[in-house]
Amino acid sequence: MTGVRFGRHFAAGLFVLALASCGGGGGGGGTPPPSANRPPAFTSPATASVPENSAGTIYTAAASDPDGNTLTFSLSGGADRARFAITAAGALSFVDPPDFEAPDDADANNVYLVQISVSDGTTSVTLDLAVTVTNVGPDAFRVTRVGTGFAGPIDIAALPDGTGRMLVVERAGRIRILNPATGAILPTPFLDIAAQVSTDGERGLLGLALAPDFQASGTFYLFLTNLAGNIEIRRYRTLAGNRDQADPASVDLILAIPHPGFNNHNGGWIGFGPDGFLYLGTGDGGGGGDPNGNGQNRNTLLGKILRIDPAGDAFPADPNRDYRIPAGNPFAGGGGAGEIWAYGLRNPFRASFDAATGNLWIGDVGQGAREEVDLMRPQDGGANFGWNVVEGTLNFTGPPQAGFTPPVTEYSHGSGARQGRSITGGRVYRGPVEALRGQYVFADFISGNIWSLPVRWVSLGTTLSSDRFFLRRADFTPNAGTLNNIVAFGADAAGNLYMVSLGGDIFRLEAV
């Protein structure tokens, strides 16, 4: 048996040798088949932790390739893929810096999920990465009542003299000086023109704007309704030796706007823009539904945002016009009143400029269904916000027309947590409380609701749903008094937010 087994093995060996010697051409051996491609493998971790507001590279993907091939990285999936960008070399970054207080990940829990792919040109493998965003303080804040006892306060402005004091406008026609540190109110009004102001309906002394050079010139401007009910923009100066006292005799009528028939929808906002021009928010003239069609009429100054230059007088023969028309105004050369900056508004009672971007945020009070927030960038002169054809995103007298600019957000009428009946336009917060920084804070006069909205969520041309609002009413519970019927927001030199309650109190949001 052994011999038989050996013979068989020997014969098999001869057969293998015979096969090895075949191949033709007289060569001594063939080319070996190529080895199979071996896939790359990730060497970087599957988790990362970064502080909020991080910009630039937050994570570097790394991988090795056993065949030494060049590797290329890309994004291939994940619930939050749209929030990221990556280079071919693996440098991962957020498209927009993340905000811990306003998480933008799919689960809103500050854990962003993204899938990274690496390819060697033949084979790809993936890594599921979880990026945790951590908080950067301070977050704590409180709302303190810093003034009380005012009679119908309706607007507020900071004195730029380094004292921290505030000018508080009373609707009846007086302006008082408040020291928020002590709550003291100077006994002598800064200005008293109550005998010259009408206060029926929505009329009154409605707005105040200090000139950019107020500290040197003592110049300031008022938005009011006179005894006939017409809108007046007036200029005053303080006494030469006393910045705590305005000179009533210095009055100069800058602009008079007829407002016949109704005592509502006057607007009331007045403020200087970053360009140094004076901006005004006028209502549509009143009556339900804009019966005179002023919102869409470019030949009237009602229902508009106006922009004028009070540094000169292009109308010396007209006692009701003491200003120039800025050359960049959309209708300065014709097609409408030269003062118009934007139109199609119902009652832009409060508005403000973002100190960081120069964008104008407008709160436009609605009719019976929607309250809206409109946005204008410095290049958006001539915007038409659609009233009275539309109310917010709803049809009113007709469907939206080409060229209308929709609100960036809106809310419906009602008594819910994200509802109300009369918007008070707010401010983009740029103060010391990191938890609120970069958020638009606004309120509803009727419902008492207070909200904030991260401005990075806002996109011109898209209307953000009110379900994205952060509810702030409970957060803003003050140490004393009741924060209700908010009619204005203001800010001091440090960026602290002030809120004016028509009932007589002034509140300040402070970092703790």
pLDDT in tens, 263-274: 999 999 999 999
Helix, strand, coil percentages, rounded to 5, for the chain: 5, 40, 55
Domain-located, residue 423: yes
Give yes or no: residues 499 and 351 share one domain.
yes
| Last-in-domain residue among 89, 119, 134 | 134
Domain-located, residue 4: no
User: In sequence order, what are the residues at sequence separation of 6 or more whose Cβ sits closer than 8 angstroms to the Cβ of residue 280?
Assistant: 223, 233, 255, 267, 269, 270, 305, 306, 307, 308
Domain-located, residue 26: no
Evaluate if residue 34 carries a pLDDT over 90: no
Are the CB atoms for 196 and 162 separated by under 8 Å?
no
Task: Please state the rounded mean pLDDT for residues 403-428.
Answer: 98
Evaluate if residue 97 carries a pLDDT over 70: yes
What is the per-residue pLDDT for 397? 97
Q: How confident is the model at residue 23 (pLDDT cuts 50, 70, 90)?
A: very low
Are the CB atoms for 452 and 435 separated by under 8 Å?
no
Q: How confident is the model at residue 7 (pLDDT cuts 50, 70, 90)?
A: very low
Give yes or no: residues 113 and 254 share one domain.
no
Give yes or no: residues 205 and 97 share one domain.
no
| Last-in-domain residue among 134, 149, 177 | 134
Torsion of CA 345, 351, 357, 358, to 10 degrees: 80
pLDDT in tens, 338-363: 999 999 999 999 999 999 999 999 99
Give yes or no: residues 100 and 229 share one domain.
no
CATH of residue 102: 2.60.40.60
pTM for the predicted model, two decimal places? 0.82
Q: Check residue 16 and report its DSSP letter.
A: H
Give yes or no: residues 124 and 262 share one domain.
no
Give yes or no: residues 195 and 276 share one domain.
yes
Q: How confident is the model at residue 29 (pLDDT cuts 50, 70, 90)?
A: low
Give yes or no: residues 182 and 97 share one domain.
no
What is the per-residue pLDDT for 6? 34
User: In sequence order, what are the residues at sequence separation of 6 or more whose Cβ sits closer than 8 angstroms to the Cβ of residue 118?
Assistant: 40, 42, 61, 63, 71, 72, 73, 90, 124, 125, 126, 127
Q: How confident is the model at residue 18 (pLDDT cuts 50, 70, 90)?
A: very low
Q: How confident is the model at residue 30 (pLDDT cuts 50, 70, 90)?
A: low
Distances (CA, A) of 444 to 169, 367, 407, 448: 20, 14, 16, 5
Structural domain containing residue 348: 141-511
Give yes or no: residues 417 and 498 share one domain.
yes
pLDDT in tens, 49-83: 999 889 899 999 999 999 999 999 999 999 999 99
Domain-located, residue 497: yes
pLDDT in tens, 367-400: 999 999 999 999 999 999 999 999 999 999 999 9
What is the per-residue pLDDT for 140? 86
| Last-in-domain residue among 73, 103, 134 | 134
Give yes or no: residues 455 and 319 share one domain.
yes
Domain-located, residue 9: no
Are the CB atoms for 279 and 305 separated by under 8 Å?
yes
Are the CB atoms for 374 and 385 separated by under 8 Å?
yes
Beta-carbon neighbour count of residue 36 at 10 Å? 6
Give yes or no: residues 408 and 482 share one domain.
yes
Task: Count how many domains the chain has.
Answer: 2
Extract the tokens encoding 443: 């309120």
Half-sphere exposure (CA, 13 Å, Cβ side) for 358? 9
321 vs 342: CA distance, rounded Å? 19
Give yes or no: residues 66 and 208 share one domain.
no
Domain-located, residue 17: no
Alpha-helical runs (H) found in 127-263: 214-217
pLDDT in tens, 139-197: 789 999 999 999 999 999 999 999 999 999 999 999 999 999 999 999 999 999 999 99
336 vs 340: CA distance, rounded Å? 8
378 vs 275: CA distance, rounded Å? 9
Domain-located, residue 14: no
CATH of residue 502: 2.120.10.30
Domain-located, residue 453: yes
Give yes or no: residues 150 and 289 share one domain.
yes
Extract the tokens encoding 437: 């920084």
Task: Please state the rounded mean pLDDT for residues 311-321.
Answer: 98
Within the chain, what is the greatest distance between any pair of CA atoms? 135
